[in-house]
């Protein structure tokens, strides 16, 4: 390891023939306006003060990626500063000309030398190469001939435009760029060169934080994944899996971090602490012994599910609408459960007919608890274990039963009376979810929903009483005002909040665009009223609460059904995540599974502890056992029923006289895709044999 202090410009000049490259395990460019503003202010300050000789902005840690002095420099730490300075260089170059040389190093040509090495061609000429998601937009800013990406990095574009704006304002106010250039000359760094083969750059990256921005949990996870991957596969894995997920999240690091936390909650049954997600991820991978590529595939699968839900992209309109209500509630705690349900839906374990009512049930549970003032703190312990306690053969019924089983716990599902009483009496105006509730009340059970986005909350009886309102309310106007002002009976939605102001009820009703002309359902009951006092507020509140009971329903099961769930100890439920697939065996299984189900619509699938059974009229015709390298199939057939060609192609054994995990008496090994057609032929033969037997009954 070698280190030296120098100017930032000196570092660029000393490495004129080296390209600065950001390795794939590095984070995306993420400096915010505040960091750019601090750098800009520092440059202006030192540039305008001749007594200040230098200003330290941090270190640049790198390793030479090759055996020649001109090999690329892999930047381990300092990429945020290098990228930001490069954006400033581009903005300055665009405002400079070849004719004007303000200071020795600052003609347009000299500035361009910090961006481009004219002795090289193609992408090798660019002095700085960012990681894939950021690379193209930076190159297109440097060279107008480079194609602009369709989805450019938001941070790079925003910060480049900031520098353009600040430079324009500076020129407008001072008429010159000299101060900026002087400031750039005084920026100091310490470069630290690692020795390849001796110093581990990824280990150093993991142990340090960049100046100003702490490494996120997903930064550390990405680094870990790259470190655990064979060198020749690193770039492919990054592009195929990790970069694809970053793009799914539209470069929203916060959302990505939240998703990984939800994923680990599903897999481990425990909610990792926000600052311990990386440690939990590493522990999970090492404890389960999961291959990195298999883990990435699974992570990407759930990432797809999360984005379908969070960005409201589910193709089925009814399902998307139901999920959208939960998304709009903005309660992070539900996602582990929601992702498991969605996974079961995609795997065919949970039907749409059950999924939508289950989503509505979860919404009711959350909304009722919120209105009743029951906290969400304990829900992160309730939701992650939910699917482990239900019978997936009776998905909706057992979900209702489990919700009802929480009655005497802190996680209870509030009953109708408690929900209605709270809804009528609470301070609804300051209720966090007021807009959500009023919008749902307005648009429930209609095929012509109203866009309420431009509406505001309106107090029908105003917050400040006029003499007319005092007269209309009667001698107890103070008590009535204090008791009912912020309750749901006195609140509605309108786009004409400022026009209504503190007008009397009759004026609010009869004026142009008043309640009488309002198209909103929430205002229909106001049209025929002559006065709006205590009785009217109470009646309106009661009517709205009855309407709310139809939207956010309480789970109902008859006593006999409920008793069935109370008396039986919950049976362990298995699904696809219960089996240890390798990437090879999962690919074989997915192909085989699809083909088997296509044979006949009456075929059912059952997940057992050690095998997956495919049944025709409740009788197994093939069982599948997951292996590391492939699959083992067990069929109800005899060897003498097989064609010689199939015997030659497949590894088949009669296991009728030895122990086996399932029913079939003939074992077939499947390890390659080429043998799938032969296995399908056998499975079809076993199915037809069973169909024939049933037809003879």
CATH (domain of 585): 3.90.1150.20
Q: What is the average pLDDT score of the chain?
A: 87
- DSSP notation for 314-382: -SSHHHHHHHHHHHHHT-GGGHHHHHHHHHHHHTTSS-HHHHHHHHHHHHHHHHHHHHTT--STTHHHH
> Under a CB-based contact definition with an 8 Å cutoff, are residues 9 and 105 in contact?
yes
pLDDT at 367: 96
235-267 residue pLDDT tens: 788 878 887 888 787 767 788 889 999 999 988
User: Do residues 678 and 601 lie in contact, with contact meaning Cβ atoms separated by under 8 Å?
Assistant: no
Tens digit of each residue's pLDDT (9 = 90 or more) over 365-401: 999 999 999 877 778 778 877 877 788 889 999 999 9
Q: Which residue has the tokens 């405002």?
A: 95
Q: How many domains does the chain have?
A: 4
Mean pLDDT of 207-233: 72
CA distance 401 to 385: 15
- At residue 142, the pLDDT reads 93
Q: What is the mean pLDDT of residues 306-320?
A: 94
Asked whether residue 142 is domain-assigned, the answer is yes
* CA-based torsion, 536, 539, 543, 544: positive or negative: positive
Residues 349-357: contacts with CB under 8 Å, at least 24 apart: 349/392, 349/395, 349/575, 349/607, 350/392, 350/395, 351/395, 352/316, 352/318, 352/319, 354/395, 354/396, 355/319, 355/322, 356/318, 356/319, 356/322, 357/396
Task: Decide which of 165, 191, 212 is a domain's last residue.
Answer: 212
Whether residue 457 sits in one domain with residue 583: no
Residue 372 lies in a domain: yes
Does residue 179 sit in the same domain as residue 304? Answer: no
Over residues 41-57, the mean pLDDT reads: 90
> In DSSP terms, which residues pair with 21 in a beta bridge?
74, 129
In a domain, 376, yes or no: yes
Any domain includes 243: yes
pLDDT in tens, 557-575: 988 888 887 755 556 778 8
Looking at the structure, do residues 229 and 334 belong to the same domain, yes or no? yes
Residue 501: which region, alpha, beta or left (left: phi > 0; alpha: psi -120 to 50)?
Answer: left
**pLDDT at res. 521:** 93
The answer to whether residues 279 and 424 belong to one domain is: no
Summarize pLDDT for 618-630 with one digit per residue, the tens.
Answer: 888 899 999 888 9
Quote the domain boundaries for residue 438. Answer: 419-551
183, 65: one domain: yes
| Residue 441: Cβ-neighbour burial (10 angstroms; 0-12, 13-18, 19+) | buried
- Domain end position, chosen among 145, 180, 212: 212
Judged by average pLDDT, the poorest of 22-36, 300-314, 407-421, 490-504 is 22-36
Q: Note whether 55 and 9 are same-domain residues.
A: yes
* Statement to judge: residues 437 and 531 lie in one domain: yes
pLDDT for 197: 65
- 3-class SS of residue 455: coil
Q: Which residues contact 425 (CB under 8 A, 6 or more apart)?
A: 487
pLDDT at position 592 is 93
CA 188 to CA 298: how far, in whole Å?
A: 45
Q: How confident is the model at residue 99 (pLDDT cuts 50, 70, 90)?
A: very low
Distance CA 589, CA 78 (A): 46
- C-alpha distances in Å from residue 314, one per residue of 51, 331, 529: 62, 19, 43
Domain-embedded: residue 621? yes
Give the C-alpha separation, 482 to 569, whole Å.
52
* pLDDT over threshold 60, residue 103: no
pLDDT of 696 reads 42
Angle subtended by helix axes 395-405 and 352-371, to nearest 10: 20
Structure tokens at 177: 């760029």
Nearest alpha carbon to residue 321 among 331, 329, 333, 313: 313
| pLDDT band per the 50, 70, 90 thresholds, residue 614 | very high
Domain membership flag for residue 113: yes
Same domain, 376 and 457: no
Name the DSSP class of 81. Answer: H
Which residue(s) pair with 459 in the sheet? 491
CA angle 240, 317, 387 (to 5 degrees): 70
**196 and 236 together in one domain:** no
Q: What pLDDT is stored for residue 97 in this prediction?
A: 66
The burial of 231, by beta-carbon neighbours within 10 Å (0-12 exposed, 13-18 middle, 19 or more buried), is given as exposed
* pLDDT of the residue at 695: 47
Q: Would 568 be classed as within a structural domain?
A: no
Give mean pLDDT, residues 112-140: 89
* Mean pLDDT of the 167-173 span: 90
Domain boundary residue, one of 145, 178, 212: 212
Give me the mean pLDDT over the 325-341 stretch.
92
The answer to whether residue 634 sits within a structural domain is yes
Q: What is the mean pLDDT of residues 6-15?
A: 92
CA angle 616, 620, 626 (to 5 degrees): 125
Residues 433 and 483 occupy one common structural domain: yes
Q: Considering the entire predicted model, what is its pTM?
A: 0.69
pLDDT band at 431 (very low <50, low <70, confident <90, very high): very high
Regarding whether 473 and 333 lie in a shared domain, the answer is: no
Whether 171 and 231 map to the same domain: the answer is: no
pLDDT of residue 220: 83
pLDDT digits (tens, 9 = 90+) for 629-673: 899 999 888 878 877 777 788 888 888 777 677 777 888 999 999
Res 504 pLDDT > 80: yes
């Amino acid at each position: 390891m070698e280190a030296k202090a120098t100017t930032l410009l000196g570092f660029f000049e000393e490495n004129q023939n080296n390209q600065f490259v950001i390795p794939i395990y590095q984070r995306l460019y993420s400096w915010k306006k505040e960091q750019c503003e601090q750098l800009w202010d520092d440059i202006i300050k030192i540039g305008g003060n001749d007594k200040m000789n230098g200003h330290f902005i941090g270190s640049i840690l790198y390793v030479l990626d090759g055996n020649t002095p001109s090999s690329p420099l892999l930047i381990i730490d300092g990429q945020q500063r290098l990228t930001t300075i490069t954006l400033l260089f581009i903005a300055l170059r665009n405002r400079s000309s070849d004719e004007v040389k303000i200071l020795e190093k600052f003609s347009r040509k000299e500035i361009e030398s910090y961006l481009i090495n004219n002795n090289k061609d193609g992408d090798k000429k660019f002095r700085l190469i960012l990681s894939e998601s950021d690379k193209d937009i930076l190159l297109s800013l440097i060279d107008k001939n480079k194609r602009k990406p369709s989805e450019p990095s938001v941070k790079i574009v925003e910060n480049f435009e900031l520098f353009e704006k600040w430079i324009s304002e500076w020129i407008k106010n001072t008429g010159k760029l000299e101060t900026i250039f002087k400031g750039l000359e005084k920026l100091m760094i310490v470069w630290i060169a690692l020795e390849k083969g001796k110093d581990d750059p990824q280990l150093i990256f993991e142990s340090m934080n960049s100046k100003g921005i702490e490494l996120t949990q997903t930064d550390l996870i990405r680094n870990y994944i790259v470190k655990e991957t064979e060198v020749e596969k690193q770039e492919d894995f990054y592009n195929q899996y990790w970069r694809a997920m970053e793009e799914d999240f539209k470069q929203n690091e916060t959302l990505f971090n939240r998703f990984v936390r939800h994923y680990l909650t599903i897999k481990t049954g425990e909610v990792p602490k926000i600052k311990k997600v990386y440690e939990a991820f590493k522990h999970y991978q090492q404890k389960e012994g999961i291959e990195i590529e298999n883990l990435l595939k699974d992570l990407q699968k759930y990432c797809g599910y999360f984005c379908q839900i969070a960005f409201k992209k589910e193709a089925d309109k009814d399902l998307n609408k139901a999920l959208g209500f939960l998304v709009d509630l903005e309660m992070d705690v539900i996602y582990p459960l929601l992702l498991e349900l969605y996974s079961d839906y995609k795997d065919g374990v949970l039907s749409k007919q059950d999924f939508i009512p289950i989503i509505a049930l979860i919404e009711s549970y959350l909304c009722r608890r919120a209105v009743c003032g029951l906290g969400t703190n304990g829900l992160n312990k309730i939701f992650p274990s939910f699917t482990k306690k239900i019978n997936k053969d009776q998905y909706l019924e057992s979900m209702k039963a489990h919700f009802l089983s929480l009655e005497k716990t802190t996680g209870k599902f509030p009953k109708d009376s408690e929900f209605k009483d709270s809804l009528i009496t609470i301070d609804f105006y300051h209720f966090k979810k007021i807009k959500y509730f009023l919008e749902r009340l307005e648009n429930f059970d209609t095929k012509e929903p109203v866009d309420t986005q431009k509406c505001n909350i309106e107090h029908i009886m105003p917050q400040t009483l006029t003499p007319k309102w005092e007269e209309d309310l009667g001698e107890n106007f103070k008590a009535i005002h204090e008791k009912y002002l912020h309750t749901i009976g006195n609140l509605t939605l309108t786009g004409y909040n400022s026009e209504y102001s503190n007008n009397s009820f009759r004026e609010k009703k009869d004026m142009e665009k008043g309640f009488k002309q309002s198209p909103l359902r929430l205002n229909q009951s106001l049209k025929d009223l002559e006065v709006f006092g205590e009785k009217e507020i109470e009646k309106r509140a009661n009517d709205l609460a009855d309407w709310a009971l139809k939207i956010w329903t309480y789970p109902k099961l008859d006593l006999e059904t409920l008793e069935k769930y109370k008396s039986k100890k919950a049976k362990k439920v298995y699904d696809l995540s219960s089996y240890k697939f390798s990437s090879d065996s999962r690919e074989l299984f997915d192909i085989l599974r699809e083909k088997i189900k296509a044979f006949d619509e009456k075929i059912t699938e059952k997940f057992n502890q050690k095998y997956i059974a495919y049944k025709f009229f409740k009788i197994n015709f093939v069982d599948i056992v997951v292996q590391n390298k492939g699959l083992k199939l067990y069929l109800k057939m005899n060897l003498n029923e097989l064609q010689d060609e199939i015997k030659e192609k497949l590894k088949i054994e009669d296991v009728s006289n030895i122990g086996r995990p399932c029913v079939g008496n003939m074992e077939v090994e499947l390890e390659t895709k080429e043998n799938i057609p032969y296995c399908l032929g056998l499975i079809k033969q076993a199915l037809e044999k069973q169909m024939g037997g049933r037809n003879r009954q």
